Chains A and B, each alone.
Chain A
Amino acid sequence: MLSKGLKRKQEEEEEGKEALAVDTWWLGPGHPAVAHAPPAVASRSLFDLSVLKLHHSLQQSEPDLQHLVLVVNTLRRIQACMAPTAALPPMPSLPTAPGIADNLLASSDASLSASMASLLEDLSHIEGLSQAPQPLVDEGPPGHPTGGAPPSLGALDLLGPATGCLLVDGLEGLFEDTDTSMYDSELWAPASEGHKSSPEDGPGKEEAPELDEAELDYLMDVLVGTQALERPPGPGC
């Protein structure tokens, strides 16, 4: 699928100067430029994006292994940088809504690592990767909310709908204010009891840690459940 990037008109260049700013948000915590960016928000957004990419990649009938491995490695890097924030209380004082990811990190850092490891391990049973598991993501609502939108990502507009972007409706929704209910229904199948949250759930809503574990377990079950559909691997090394 090809899409054309949007060409900026000359007169818009003055307005677009901010787009030329260096993206400092995504640099490692040791980078001096990050000093004036809230790294927790930045890392979390990138984390959510990476998790989304991972899910979309795994939903392909035959995921691109290089893409998958690079995304997983990036996710691990981000997670390692965010590890100190796992000690934060469940109601962080950040202005933006924490979203599910914070709680996941706070309470289930180890289990998320295990999930990712298990996802890769699942691939080993398949010697050539399975058919698409049941879709976890409800394709309907556009966008997947995460943390606040850093201003330097105005450059997103210029790139237009991405050639290789796996989201159906582009990425703008990623950086809307977090709405936990949308996030829950998109990323984690809404099967856990008590998981229902009103659309207006604002910041500070605290998810019980048990629910997070249940969500992960559900996710793993769905993925592992596809094993039952597997036939023995075909010929070839």
Chain B
Amino acid sequence: MAGAGGGGCPAGGNDLQWCFSQVKGAVDEDVAEADVISTVEFSHSGDLLATGDKGGRVVIFQREQENKSRPHSRGEYNVYSTFQSHEPEFDYLKSLEIEEKINKIRWLPQQGAARFLLSTNDKTIKLWKISERDKRAEGYNLKDEDGRLRDPLRITALRVPILKPMDLMVEASPRRIFANAHTYHINSISVNSDHETYLSADDLRINLWHLEITDRSFNIVDIKPANMEELTEVITAAEFHPHQCNVLVYSSSKGTIRLCDMRSSALCDRHSKFFEEPEDPSSRSFFSEIISSVSDVKFSHSGRYMMTRDYLSVKVWDLNMESRPVETHQVHEYLRSKLCSLYENDCIFDKFECCWNGSDSAIMTGSYNNFFRMFDRTTWRDVTLEASRENSKPRASLKPRRVCAGGKRKKDEVSVDSLDFSKKILHTAWHPVENIIAVAATNNLYIFQDKAN
């Protein structure tokens, strides 16, 4: 059944009821640092789901075909391929260790039988080809079945090798390595709608690559000041427009978003549009800048809107209006009075991502205590759900959660002071078409589906 695009009300409405589907990852209390998931991404069709972790591994899950004989599988995701994408490296010139942590994965649109994705750590982007092999050739002339070369002088007859079926083998091979183009830490990669180029962004620069060419890239944005003591702002995220191959946006640590048109000049130092919401003087504090820093920017599928995530809220912008967002959704406003503590323990610097559903009618982002939030843009309803092992019974409905910010705590409410700030949901993904979401909670990947699915 091809699900309808995510319409309806995720928040206790009649249409959508989120249910637990699967959880991947170990149950151990002691989580190895390497197993912490650092990125999650559905493929364009949604049949593949990729995760990257701090240990530099990529795990790809594939959705099983719905099977009448196994109706309960309901299109479950199972491991399809696992490979080591990046290894820890040592830069001898600078005496620096380069982490193998996968910062981002982006799928290329499918063009043939093989699947391609880009994965990146702080410094190097790699293009991986994932292909299936389910046949092997037998009956070679020049070698035996076990691969040993035969003596050509002993060959008296020729035969045509035949293809025989074999167990499915999924192979991942690195096809391109794009290295040595970033001095600072890469935070974003984005494939262009032309399917030929992509961008990579670090703290101060954005480079444009051609997928076929690894030995050079073009610098299209450079905000490094001539005098580093004037540095007050860094690039935090960047993305290409989903349809206009000449348009890209990048966000900054000061809460601004710049839209650039590559047609206007080779170096996009001058933006075409500048999006910034004026600061509310009544809520100004020492931490105003930190909490305004944009941790993620995502275009809507339609290309008409973009969404930004800052520390306390998610904002939807109309690309035609630069002065302020058209929507602001509060994620965890109860943390505003805790900013000092969150500054002390560095939680205030956590980088939450956000995502759209397939029809752009709903958005999702993560929070603390393994909570994540969904906002319906049509009904303006929102809901807080939790990714936890306690709610992991198959097809169990997720119960909305509430945080009590003050006063008397009601039953089933969670007090702000008992939130676990080490359990943060930074990475979430929404299936491009159906109501299936993937939520990364430390080392576990939760998959939830709409009951109607």
Kindly identify which residue among A1, A8, A28, A49 contacts B285, using a CB–CB cutoff of 8 Å.
A28
Residues on the B chain within 8 Å of A77, using CB: 286, 289
Contacts of A233 in B (CB 8 A): 93-94, 183
Quote the shortest CB–CB distance from B418 to chain A (angstroms): 4
Q: Is the CB of B231 within 8 A of A69?
A: yes
Q: Cα distance A124–B203 when bound, in Å? A: 13
CA distance A129 to B182 in the complex (A): 13
Residues of chain A whose beta carbon lies under 8 Å from any beta carbon of chain B: 1-5, 7-8, 13, 16, 19-23, 25-28, 30-31, 46, 49, 53, 61-62, 64-67, 69-70, 72-74, 77-78, 81, 117-118, 120-124, 126-131, 153, 155-156, 158-160, 162-166, 171, 174, 231-237
Query: Which residues does chain A contribute within 8 Å of B114, judged by CB atoms?
Result: none
Q: Cβ of B442 and Cβ of A131 under 8 Å apart?
A: no
Complex contact A163–B347 (CB within 8 A): yes
Chain A residues within an 8 Å CB radius of B421: 5, 159-160, 162-163
Per DSSP, chain B at the interface is loop
Q: Mark B219-240, 1 if CB is under 8 A from A, else 0.
A: 1000000011101111010000
Please, which residues of chain B bring their CB within 8 A of the CB of A120?
Answer: 228-229, 231
Q: Are B93 and A171 in contact (CB under 8 A)?
A: no
Contact A163/B94 with A4-B422, A127-B183 known, Cβ cut-off 8 Å: no
B11 within 8 A of A: no
The answer for the CA separation of A120 and B234 in the assembled complex, in Å, is 13
Assess A49 versus B290: contact at CB under 8 Å? Given A128-B96, A155-B338, A235-B180: no
A23:B228 contact, CB within 8 angstroms = no
The one of A23, A72, A159, A165 that contacts B339, using a Cβ cutoff of 8 Å: A23
Establish whether residues A234 and B91, one from each chain, have CB atoms under 8 Å apart when the complex forms: yes
Contact with A along B170-183 (1 / 0, CB 8 A): 00000000001111
Q: Is the CB of B417 within 8 A of A61?
A: no
Contacts of A19 in B (CB 8 A): 417
A62 to B231, alpha carbons, bound, how many Å?
17
23 contacts between A and B (CB under 8 A): A4-B420, A4-B423, A5-B421, A23-B337, A23-B340, A26-B287, A49-B343, A62-B94, A70-B349, A117-B229, A121-B228, A128-B184, A130-B94, A131-B94, A153-B340, A159-B342, A159-B347, A162-B421, A164-B346, A171-B345, A232-B93, A233-B93, A237-B217
Alpha-carbon separation in the docked complex, A153 to B338 (Å): 9
Contact: A234 with B184, CB < 8 Å? no
Contact of B417 among A121, A122, A131, A155 (CB under 8 A): A155
Residue pair A46, B340 in contact (C-beta under 8 Å): yes
CA distance A4 to B423 in the complex (A): 8
Apart from A73-B289, A165-B344, A166-B346: 16 A-B pairs, beta carbons within 8 A: A13-B415, A23-B337, A23-B341, A26-B286, A30-B284, A46-B343, A65-B234, A66-B253, A74-B289, A78-B286, A122-B228, A158-B418, A160-B421, A162-B421, A234-B180, A237-B181
B180 and chain A: residue at smallest CB distance? A236
Smallest Cβ-Cβ distance to A32: which chain B residue = B282
Interface-central residue, A25, A153, A237, by most chain B CB under 10 Å:
A237
Q: How far is the CA of A236 from the CA of B287 in the complex (A)?
A: 34
Interface residues of B, count at CB 8 A: 64
Contact A2 B31 (CB under 8 A): yes
Q: Give the 5 A-B residue pairs with the shortest CB-CB distance, closest first.
A: A162-B345, A164-B346, A124-B228, A117-B229, A234-B93
State the Cβ distance, A25 to closest chain B Cβ, in Å: 7
B125-149: which have CB < 8 Å to A? Answer: none
What residues of A have a CB within 8 angstroms of the CB of B347 in the complex? 159, 162-164
CB contact under 8 A between A49 and B184, given known A3-B422, A74-B289: no
Whether A164 and B338, one on each chain, are in contact in the complex, defined by CB atoms closer than 8 angstroms, is: no
In the assembled complex, the Cα of A13 lies from the Cα of B406 at a distance in Å of 11
Q: Which of A1, A66, A123, A171 lies at the interface centre, i.e. has the most chain B CB atoms within 10 A of its CB?
A: A66
Give the Cβ gap from B217 to chain A, nearest Cβ, in Å: 8
Note all chain B residues with C-beta closer than 8 A to A49. 343-344
User: Does B416 interact with chain A (Cβ within 8 Å)?
Assistant: yes
CB–CB A165/B341 < 8 A? no
In the complex, the chain B residue whose C-beta lies closest to that of A235 is B180
For A232, the chain B residues whose CB sits under 8 A away are 93
Give, as a whole number of angstroms, the nearest-CB distance from B98 to chain A: 8
The answer on a CB contact under 8 Å between A236 and B286 is: no
A69 to B225, CA, bound (A): 13
- Contact for B253 among A8, A70, A122, A166, CB less than 8 A: A70
Closest to A19 in B: B417
A contact residues around B232 at 8 Å (CB): 69, 72-73
B338 shortest CB reach to chain A, Å:
6
Please, how many angstroms separate the alpha-carbon atoms of A126 and B94 in the complex? 9
Contact A20-B416, Cβ < 8 Å, known A26-B287, A166-B346 = yes
| A131 cross-chain contacts in B, Cβ below 8 A | 94-96
Least CB distance, A233 to chain B, in whole angstroms? 8
> What are the residues of chain B within 8 A of A25 when measuring CB–CB?
340
In the complex, A67→B269 CA distance in Å? Answer: 23
Q: Which of A1, A121, A127, A128 has the most CB of B within 10 A?
A: A128
B293 at the binding interface (Cβ < 8 Å): yes
**Nearest residue in A to B36 (C-beta to C-beta)?**
A2
